[in-house]
């Protein structure tokens, strides 16, 4: 795989995959823990997507990008591991219980991340890091003269995650990032197309 193809895959596929995965964010199910392991991997890949975009928009070395995306990677990943995977493992252990008891376990564990101060803080810091990074990249894109659609969508990708990462807000956030990356690629491709040469005898 060439560097150009690898770059495009890393730029476009992770946000699209995360947007689709957020739609499937499960209710009590046997694959709850597996779902969040997949999401953990996608979190790292989405960070690469943002860094690629930031690099090409002149925002890679900005403090907002480094601090924001670093906080997102560390704190959101920790939140996802603790809240998602731990909840999934608790549900898996309850699989052999009667249906009524399984439902009781679900009702107990589904909301505990929001009430546990440490887990809640991890989620808040990670999400705010994402907002800072994406809004910073959006402002850099605007200063660089990127299409309005591109930088607005990048900013929206940051803001919508404040509503949480499951559907609909997570899907909208990562969907906005994907569409912004598509616009970026389309604009970049047009800029690289050379103007047709004008022949000597042309009028």
Give the pair of three-digit tokens for residue 108: 């107990």
Angstrom CA distances, 47 to 44, 69, 70, 86, 146, stand at 5, 7, 9, 23, 21
Q: Which pLDDT score is estimated for 93?
A: 78
Please give the model's pTM, rounded to 2 decimal places.
0.87
Q: Which pLDDT score is estimated for 178?
A: 98
Residues of the chain with pLDDT under 50: 195, 199-203
Q: Where are the domains of the chain?
A: 3-188
Name the helix (H) or strand (E) containing 124.
Answer: helix 117-144
List pLDDT tens digits, range 116-134. Answer: 889 899 999 999 999 999 9
Separation of alpha carbons 52 and 84, rounded Å: 28
Separation of alpha carbons 142 and 144, rounded Å: 5
Angstrom CA distances, 108 to 28, 30, 32, 127, 202, stand at 12, 17, 15, 24, 78
Separation of alpha carbons 117 and 147, rounded Å: 41
Residue 172 φ then ψ, to 5°: -65, -45
Query: Tokens 């770059």, residue?
Result: 7
Q: Which pLDDT score is estimated for 161?
A: 97
List pLDDT tens digits, range 61-72. Answer: 999 999 999 999
Q: Which pLDDT score is estimated for 30?
A: 67
């Amino acid at each position: 795989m060439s560097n150009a193809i690898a770059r495009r895959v890393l730029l476009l596929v992770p946000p699209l995959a995360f947007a689709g995965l957020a739609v499937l964010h499960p209710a009590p199910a046997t694959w709850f823990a597996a779902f969040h392991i997949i999401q953990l991997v996608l979190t790292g890949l989405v960070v690469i997507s943002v860094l690629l975009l930031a690099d090409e928009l002149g925002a890679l070395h900005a403090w907002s990008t480094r601090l924001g995306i670093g906080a997102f990677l560390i704190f959101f990943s920790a939140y996802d591991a603790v809240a998602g995977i731990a909840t999934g493992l608790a549900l898996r252990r309850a699989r052999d219980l009667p249906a009524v008891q399984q439902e009781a376990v679900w009702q107990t564990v589904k909301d505990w991340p929001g009430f546990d101060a440490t887990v809640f803080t991890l989620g808040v810091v990670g999400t705010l890091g994402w907002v800072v990074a994406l809004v910073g990249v959006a402002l850099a894109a605007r200063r660089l003269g990127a299409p309005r659609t591109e930088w607005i969508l990048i900013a929206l990708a940051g803001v919508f995650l404040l509503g949480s990462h499951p559907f609909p807000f997570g899907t909208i956030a990562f969907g906005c990032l994907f569409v912004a990356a598509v616009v970026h690629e389309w604009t970049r491709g047009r800029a690289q197309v050379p103007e047709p040469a004008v022949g000597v005898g042309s009028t």
